[in-house]
Amino acid sequence: MKKFIASLLLLGVMNPCLAQKIEKLPEVVIIATNYKYLSTVDSEDESESVDLLQKEVASYDLKNSDVYEDEYDLYYVSFHIPDGKILAAYDKNGKVLRTIEKFNDTRLPRNIMEAVTKRFPGWEITKDVYLVNYHSENGVTKKYKLRLQNGKKRIKVKTDEFGKFL
């Protein structure tokens, strides 16, 4: 009796598997046009809002946008969020050629924080601006403009992405 129930159960499970048709699907090609932009500007210490806006720039579909026309070779598209903005230049194929990016009061990377506290002990960072300039041929430059305060004293300093003061 146990064998009979087990064989019925096995037959019930196997039957739908045997009835399936296997069809060959057409090949899908995924092209990551702006992978170079994302891999160049992306940093593990960036704030979430910076990362999200940069991903929006990389995934923007220029050819299906309202501004696209076949006759132009260069397109400028502006992206805004409350914390920052990006002006991106695209070629006619939708590739990011260059960007100018500015973000206010973002989360600072650890090496920037350590460099500031080491060089300016007792000072507090009251404002920061994160600037990114990307160029498809020249790479990326990242700078931080910081306003420091100690009591009534205020100073402005600039650093690169590694915490080196400019």
pLDDT tens-digit map of 66-102: 877 777 889 899 999 998 999 999 998 889 999 999 9
- Closest-CA residue to 88 (of 99, 72, 104, 79): 99
Task: Give the count of beta carbons closer than 10 Å to the beta carbon of residue 139.
Answer: 11
Report pLDDT for 121.
92
Report the chain's terminal Cα–Cα distance, integer Å.
85
Report DSSP state, residue 65: S
pLDDT attached to residue 40:
80
Q: What is the dihedral of CA 101, 104, 107, 111, to 10 degrees?
A: 70
Determine how β-strand 96-104 pairs with β-strand 124-135: antiparallel
The rounded average pLDDT for each run of 10 residues, N- to C-terminus, in the chain (166 residues) is: 60 56 59 75 78 87 80 89 92 91 91 93 93 92 94 94 90
pLDDT given for residue 63 in this prediction:
81
Given this model, what pLDDT does residue 85 score?
Answer: 95
Pairing of strands 74-81, 84-91: antiparallel
